[in-house]
Structure 1
């Protein structure tokens, strides 16, 4: 069977092909190879720049251009060449080294310097930097822009719905009113915090040999400060240098990134479930799309499938991330290989998250507030004013205020007339009775509007 988007095992490359295509340049086998090729080339160029220290031939700008073009013109034919070498070596980095040596040997001048390709490196020197660059690009180009889009839409909805009163539900029961804008604002504030955190997490990399001590480097050139060279090299790639490692960079920063993304995703799961519930209560209507079908047998249905899809894929992303958070920072002694196969699934982590983000955004674009239903539910629940009434009674030192309201309201259907009569019979100043009678379930919203405006400011 020919491999296409219809014959893949994973829906990441099948059903959700369009949502995840931006990640392919980064996390595909081709992408991973290309990032590692970049690291090999940049290290070779760094070595060449030390020609006087190493007592080797100096290369000129034309040589640099030749080297850079190996990366710039890297294509699927090159990748297949590397994979064919790997079939013999059963080692992907060694196959990449041999490919690069073959390429540079085509230049008469560079052919004498090919032994400085992968000089003093262990595979993890190349791999950890490649992953760092891949993660950095995924965050900068895809994840953070998508997060910002979600944040801005939540901000917009918070402002748009800031004055629309909402019957709150604590424990699934009618409670003190809020506004729809304020409830969306709560999520806006939470995800914005994670956005700021993610932007500031340092992405680390190491370049210090087989057990982190520059043994081979010093064996070849004992008079060079390889510790400083390593730092310069990592910083030149716009990464943060990790000076203390075993054979591998310990992946703590990846765990930190995934912890942040996982929390962001969990907040969105909470949001999706709340919106799903509001749709169920008819607080939101969903825009009708003519040719869409909600059920194969029930023609009337418009299901909140985008929020359900988002919730499911956020869960998948989190499940993978939580495994990686627990797995990746642990390595037996100076190195074991159990992290390698796990790291190859980082693309899947981001993919499930991105599928979820797009689904949620699609769902939000279909929503239309149903103010009539919101007001109807509020006007059917005058008992929520018992909080305000008993609090004012306490102010005037009326004994057993709470208990009196409990006896009056609990388990009963309370109307506006019932509330007015109760207020009229209270032993409080007439001015307070008038003020209390002006409070309704639709205006008993406290600082909800003010909190939206101040937070958005």
Structure 2
């Protein structure tokens, strides 16, 4: 046994370097991959599901509520019945335009200003209220003679924070889904459907339980997944985004005491619908979030079907049914130069699993709130963006992965030609039909084909010899004699054309 003793390194205090604290580096380094490595794929969600987007949505809701209180609820005819709060000034078109520019121009400087206000208030929604009041106070300079300052105390009138937050989140999720996630998911599904149609008639040996089974076509198998994904997209497209504005415990208590003459449920309904949302008439302090759980469950189900696609395509690549188009300059392995790894589909798998975990947690957590209100939903909802971000990243990876695939029809044909035993199914089925038609000698068809094929290879000559000796009617015998594993695909190609429109 040899023992090697290394001398201790000689260092002096001046040799020891202080490690850079990455938390102090500017601009700030992202903690998570979505805002770092994968920023490019998920950046469009920032406009809808970020903290800044939340504050912009809050400002938008507060401004629209102020306009409603002064000028009355908007109606389908576009006319306003007058102020909800007696004595409130009727705002001019110029004043309304000025107010609506506050959320429209909410950018870097405004984000910083609002953050500074929140450091004082230690309350995010109150900071929004004060931010808007600052803009109203500056209105005379911008508009000249104006009645806006007189409306200042109607900002956040009779509202609890959740009145603003629930509407803001509904608008954010609605925008993120409709403007970003759905278009990406739809484009992926359309791309998959195009591949299914392109390869609708390309025969392939299917594998049930991983074992050779009834032949199919590559296009039909892709069509199944496209059809499943499209069904989930229809559910997401039909989602309802609910909202409420009814005070601290959903009773309009402060509203009625302050202005007893108003029909507050009617005002609330008109306001929520004016925002493009569905009114929820019965809530506690919070909107119940059931609609969120429904949307997230549907998106998670889409994710899981997409995960199934990723694992199937990965397996087809491993079988050689798909070949991958190498990317110039790319490295598949740091040591094995021949490798072209299916990294797009592996990346998608992982991100879909993370997305589903977050979406499942959101769905399970948000539907429960102790008594009239607890704050578990506040921090939970701040993870809506990452939940959709990981899904969007996976969609991007699958799209790029599919684009880099070629179908290896020759290898699939060879695979089929080495598995003639799969024709045991149609042969025994033809024997059963012949037996019902009164043809003699068709006894025990399943058992006879099982004896011929189970657990052993059968080549073309052996299968045709067996069929020829059965004594089937001439037309049936001729049909089976012409049958090959590659032609035994039923109406697979037609299914793609008929049901993937």
Q: Which residue of 2 aligns with 1:106?
A: 138
The yes-or-no answer on 1:170 pairing with 2:208 is yes
Give the match's secondary structure for 2:233: helix
Q: Report matched runs for 1:432-451 at 5 Å.
A: 432-451=476-495
The TM-score with structure 1 as length reference comes to: 0.98
Of 398, 401, 407, which aligns to 1:363?
401
Query: Residue 131 of structure 1: which of 169, 172, 197 is its match?
Result: 169
- Measured against aligned partners, the alpha-carbon deviations of 1:345-400 in whole angstroms (never above 9, x if no partner) come to 10001100000000000000000010111001000000000001111111222221
Moved more, 415-424 or 80-89: 80-89
Q: 1:200 aligns to what? A: 238
- Counterpart-to-counterpart distance in 2, 1:74 and 1:189: 41
Which of 112, 118, 122 lines up with 1:80 in the alignment?
112
Query: Aligned pair 1:29/2:29, yes or no?
Result: no
Q: Out of 313, 316, 326, which is 1:278 matched to?
A: 316
Tell whether 2:47 aligns with 1:9. Answer: no
1:158 corresponds in structure 2 to: 196
Structure 1 residue 140: Cα displacement: 1.3
- Choose which of 369, 376, 390 in structure 2 pairs with 1:331: 369
Q: Which residue of 1 aligns with 2:153?
A: 115
Distance of 1:426 and 1:45 partners within structure 2: 86
**CA displacement at 1:3 relative to structure 2:** 4.9
Any idea what the Cα deviations from partners look like across 1:263-283, whole Å, max 9, x if unmatched? 111000001100000000000
Residue of structure 1 equivalent to 2:14: none
Matched, 1:322 2:354: no
Shift of 1:56: 2.4
Deviation at 1:105, TM superposition (A): 1.5
**1:62 pairs with 2:94:** yes
SS of the residue corresponding to residue 208 of structure 1 reads coil
Q: Distance in 1 between matches of 2:299 and 2:308?
A: 14
Distance apart, 1:18 and its partner CA: 0.4
Task: State how far apart, in whole Å, the 2-side matches of 1:100 and 1:200 are.
Answer: 34
Kindly provide the CA deviation profile for residues 409-455 of structure 1, in whole angstroms up to 9, marking residues without a partner as x. 11111111110111111122233222111010000001101111111
Task: For residue 201 of structure 1, give the secondary structure of its aligned residue in structure 2.
Answer: coil
* Unmatched tracts of structure 1, length 5 or more: none
Alpha carbons 1:12, 1:20 under 8 Å: kept = yes
Task: Please list, as runs of the form range in 1=range in 2, the aligned pairs for 1:287-298 lying within 5 A after superposition.
Answer: 287-298=325-336
Q: Give 3-state SS (helix, strand or coil) of 1:396's partner.
A: helix
- Superposed CA deviations along residues 148-194 of structure 1, whole A, max 9, x for unmatched, are 10121111111100110010100000000000000001011111111
The answer to whether the 8 A contact 2:227-2:500 is kept is no
Compute the displacement of 1:403 (Å). Answer: 0.8
**Deviations along 1:223-252, whole A, 9 cap, x unmatched?**
110000000101111111111111111111
Q: Tell me the CA shift for residue 71 of structure 1.
A: 2.2
In the aligned structure 1, how far is the partner of 2:205 from the partner of 2:101? 63
2:75 paired residue number: none
CA distance, structure 2, for counterparts of residue 71 and residue 96 of structure 1: 11
Name the SS for the 2:443 alignment partner. coil
Distance in 2, matches of 1:56 and 1:401, equals 88
Aligned to 1:264: 302
Local SS of the residue matching 2:207: strand
The whole-number CA distance in structure 2 between the counterparts of 1:302 and 1:56 is 69
Structure 1 runs, 4 residues or longer, greater than 3 Å off: 50-53
Tell me if 1:410 matches 2:454: yes
Question: What is the TM-score normalised by the length of structure 2?
Answer: 0.89
Q: CA deviation at 1:262?
A: 0.6
Q: CA deviation at 1:78?
A: 1.9
Contact between 2:69 and 2:83, CA under 8 Å: does it hold in 1?
no
- Superposed CA deviations along residues 104-162 of structure 1, whole A, max 9, x for unmatched, are 12235322221110000000010011101101111111111112101211111111001
Query: Residue in 2 aligned with 1:455?
Result: 499
* 1:300-349 deviation line (CA, Å, top 9, x unaligned): 00000001111110111000001111110100000000010000110001
Shift of 1:205: 0.5
Task: Choose from 315, 322, 344 the match for 1:306.
Answer: 344
The answer on whether the counterparts of 2:68 and 2:83 sit within 8 Å (CA) in structure 1 is no
Distance 1:102 1:368, change over 3 A: same
Note if contact 1:248-1:335 (Cα within 8 Å) is conserved in structure 2. Answer: yes
Find the counterpart in structure 1 of residue 65 from structure 2: 43
Q: Does 1:395 align with 2:433?
A: yes
Alpha-carbon distance between aligned partners in 1 of 2:202 and 2:90, rounded to the nearest angstrom: 72
Instruction: Give, in whole Å, the separation in 2 of the partners of 1:29 and 1:3.
Output: 20
Alignment partners' CA distance in 2, 1:175 and 1:456: 24
- SS of 1:285's equivalent in the other structure is strand
Q: Could you tell me how far 1:65 is from its partner in structure 2?
A: 2.5
Q: Is the 8 A contact 1:39 1:129 kept in 2?
A: yes
- Any conservation in 2 of the 1:30–1:76 contact (CA below 8 Å)? no
Task: Name the SS of the counterpart of 2:216 in structure 1.
Answer: strand
| Largest Rg, 1 or 2 | 2
> How far did residue 66 of structure 1 move?
2.3
